[in-house]
Amino acid sequence: MTPDDTAGDPPDHETCVAENRAHWDELAEHHPDTDAYDVEGFLRGESTLRRLEREELDAAERTMLHLQCHLGLDTLSWVRDEGVAAATGVDFAPTAVETAREIRDRAGVDPERARFVERDVREVELDRTFEVVFTSYGTIYWLPALAEWAETVAAHLEPGGVFYIADGHPFAAPFGHESTADDLRLAGPYFDEGARSVEHDGSYAGWNFGLDSWRKHGFSHPPGEIVTALVEAGLRVECWHDHPWSFFQRFDAMEERDGRWYLPGLEYDLPFTFSLRARLPA
């Protein structure tokens, strides 16, 4: 199995989301045992946050909503290591949410400071707002459209509150894993042309898990769509930054330096990660 094994015509959007949920729920059973997630390292005190978000987002002493939190390791790192006052992590995979609560309890983090809620990010309706909404690394690609996501962000920010996202750059999403600096291979759409469906018995964290639910569906969201969804939801975009490294080995030819993956041999840098900060007007 390679990361570009296409799985035929995609089903309708809601079936895509349901299949994604089944797939992520199973991945959440296996990810705690992988080196990529390194739960033991986290329990020993290592933060799972990357330096990009630590440098670009000052969340100390603030309340935070973390969307698509998966196993909650970043949520807990914000609270334990970066002084976030209290965080709520949301994910639609029940096993991810249960595991996040277990890791929180093993780490001795006060449950009042780290709550985890099982919910589709498009349907979050919490009875409170937050000073920061955060999401990162492998998030909006799984959403068929961004309007409801952006509404979730806006509805849960306090006036003057900050939204921050760091994720794979939409520019890089269409290229196949066999791409090199001399040969970027188009393997999917850049513009939103519907779901890109693949079948994998695994993820970036490992292969051959023995999953029952192999099929998953991703969706391209170019920068214009991301920015417009947030602006239409009422946010003011403060910055968009392009970064010449990937947070995972997007192409086989990429090489890692200090936790960041680069494509060797490029004459000019290309963007593989973006970060964006926006604010709900006070």
x-or-dash pattern for ligand SAM, window 39-68, by CB under 6 A? -----------------------------x
> What contacts 266, CB < 8 A, 6 or more positions away?
181
User: CB of 26: closest distance to ligand SAM in angstroms?
Assistant: 10
* Tokens coding 280: 């709900």
User: CB of 50: closest distance to ligand SAM in angstroms?
Assistant: 9
Sign of CA dihedral 46, 254, 16, 201: negative
Radius of gyration of the chain (CA): 18
Minimal CA–CA distance to 87: which of 109, 59, 115, 60? 115
- For tokens 């994720």, name the residue: 167
User: CB of 93: closest distance to ligand SAM in angstroms?
Assistant: 4
Task: Tell me the DSSP string of 53-100.
Answer: HHHH---TTSEEEEES-TTSHHHHHHHHHH--SEEEEEES-HHHHHHH
Shorter beta-carbon distance to ligand SAM: residue 24 or 175: 24
- CA–CA dist 256, 243 (Å, integer): 14
x-or-dash pattern for ligand SAM, window 127-146, by CB under 6 A? ---------xxxx--xx---
User: Residue 202, interface with ligand SAM (CB under 6 A)?
Assistant: no
Footprint on residues 258-277 left by ligand SAM (CB under 6 A): none
Shorter beta-carbon distance to ligand SAM: residue 54 or 122: 122
User: Residue 120, interface with ligand SAM (CB under 6 A)?
Assistant: yes
How many residues sit in the footprint of ligand SAM (CB under 6 A)?
20
User: Residue 247, interface with ligand SAM (CB under 6 A)?
Assistant: no
Shorter beta-carbon distance to ligand SAM: residue 125 or 267: 125
> What contacts 46, CB < 8 A, 6 or more positions away?
38
C-beta nearest to ligand SAM: residue: 138
| Contacts to ligand SAM by CB under 6 A | 17, 20, 24, 68, 70-71, 74, 91-93, 96, 120-122, 136-139, 142-143
